[in-house]
Amino acid sequence: MKVSALVIALLSLVVLATARKQMATRYDNFKVYKAFIRDVEQLEEFKKIHHHIHIHMLHDIGGVNRSYEVVVGPAHQKAFETTLHYLDIEFEITIEDLQALLDESAYDPDAAMDWVTYHPLDKIYDWVDEQCAAHDYLDCKVIGHSYEGRPIKSVRLSKREGNKAILIEGNIHAMEWISSATVTYILNQLINSNDAELQRLTEEYDWIVVPMVNPDGFVYTHEVERLWRKNRRPNGYSNSSGLCYGIDMNRNFDFHWSGAGWGIEDPCDHWFNGEQPNTEIEILQLQDFVSSFDEGYIRAYMAFHAYGQYILLPYGHSNTEFPPNYDQMMRIAAAFAEGALDSYGSEFTYGASGLLNYPVSGAAKDWAYGVKNIPFTCTVELRDKGTFGFFLPSNQITEVGVEVTEGLKSLVVKAAEEGIFD
Ligand SMILES: [Zn+2]
C-alpha cells in the first residue's frame, strides 16, 4: 500500500510538472504585423487599439514616421486588419506563424552549452560556474538576487594589476534572448579563443560581464510567456486581467528620469518605467556592483539588447542636448560598426539614442555615463533589422557573436587611441 501511495504521489508530481510545462503560451498562427505610423492623428488612434482588440505591442509607441510591430492571435487578426485599413495605416505581415518561427529555435534542455541554440538560465549559469572554476584569473560573484530570489551572477576577468575595465551587461529585457547568448559568446571568446588580438585585449584590459540582469523575466519567457520584457515584481497596479507585473528596468535608472509613462501610458504595459526611479532590486544591485569598484576603473559600459543593429549613445532623455565627449564616442562607435561590418556585412547605425529613436530616459547607459562618469557607454542593439526582430532564430547566434566580437576588438583599440583608458 505504502509503495503504491508513493508511486501515485510520484506520478502526480510528474503530471504536475508536465502540466506546468504545458502552461507555456503557444503562438500558433499568431502573426507579427509591422504598422507604419505617418502622423500624430494615426499615432493617437493606434495607441488606443489595444483597448478593444487583444494585441501585443512589441515596441513602446514613441513617435511618428516609424514602424511598430504588433503580435496578433488568429481570433483578432481580422478586426486588427480592418481597424488598420479604417485608419489608413499601412502595414505588412513580417511573420506569418510566430510559433513555427519559435519552433525553429527549440532547444534540447539536456544539450551542452553552445552558441547555436538558446539555453535556459540554469544552463547558462552552470556554464558560467564551470568557467569560473577552471580559470583562476576569473573572479566570479553573485552581485545580488532578483525579486524572486534568483542569483544575478557576474564574472570579472583580470590578468594584470592596474588594468582599466570594460563592463558588459546582458538580458535586462527578458525576451531579448540574443543578448545573453551574445554576451556569453563574447565571454567564451575572451576566455577560450586563440585569437591573438583578443588575447592581447584580455591581458591589457579587465572585462566584467553580467550576463543576466533579469533572471526572473528570462525564466518567465522560457516557461510561460516568450514575449515578456520586464522583471516580475507585482507593480502595485491591476487591470481586467488581474495584477500587473514588472517594471521595464531599462527605463528605471535615475538620470533625467521622467515620472511620466511613455506611449501606451499604462502601468500594466511592457514599458512601464515605475513610479519613481531606482525601484527595482535587480538594477539597484547592478548599480551597487558598479559603484563597488574604484572610480575611474570601469571606462566603458556596454548594454546588449535586441534589435535593429544600432550603437545607441547617451543621451536618451534629449535630442537637443549631447554629452561633452559625444564626438569622441561617435568615433569609437564608428570603429565598432566598421569592425562588425567585415564579418557578414551587418551594418550598425550609431548616434545618440534620443536622436536615433526618440527621447526616453532611464536606461543603464545614461546612468553609467551621467551618474558614474564612465566615458564611453552605449546600448548595442543586435541583429536584425526587422526580418525576425525579437525572434531571431538560434542559427544566427554564432554569426552575431562573431560580428560583435570583431566590433568590440575595433572599439577597444579605437577607445584606447582616444584616451578612454588613460
Ligand atoms: Zn532591450
Give me the pLDDT at residue 5, please: 52
Cα-to-centroid distance, 179 and ligand 1 (Å): 8
Provide the grid cell at 224: 510561460
Confidence (pLDDT) at 227: 97
The Å distance, Cα 421 to ligand 1 centre, comes to 27
How large is the C-alpha radius of gyration of the chain? 22
The model carries a pTM of 0.93
Mean pLDDT by 10 residues, the chain (422 residues): 48 44 83 97 93 92 91 98 98 98 92 96 98 98 98 98 98 98 98 98 98 98 97 93 94 82 67 92 98 98 98 94 97 98 98 89 96 98 96 98 98 98 97
Distance from Cα 245 to the centre of ligand 1, integer Å: 17
- Catalytic status, residue 381: yes
Q: How far is the CA of 170 from the centre of ligand 1 (A)?
A: 9
The CA 18 to ligand 1 mean position distance, Å, reads: 31
Dist CA 73 CA 80 (whole Å): 10
The CA 163 to ligand 1 mean position distance, Å, reads: 30
Q: What local confidence, expressed as pLDDT, does residue 109 receive?
A: 83
State in Å: Cα 133 to ligand 1 middle: 31
Ligand 1 centroid to residue 306 C-alpha, Å: 5
Active-site entry in 282, 381, 406, 418: 381
| CB-based contact 181:118 (threshold 8 Å) | yes
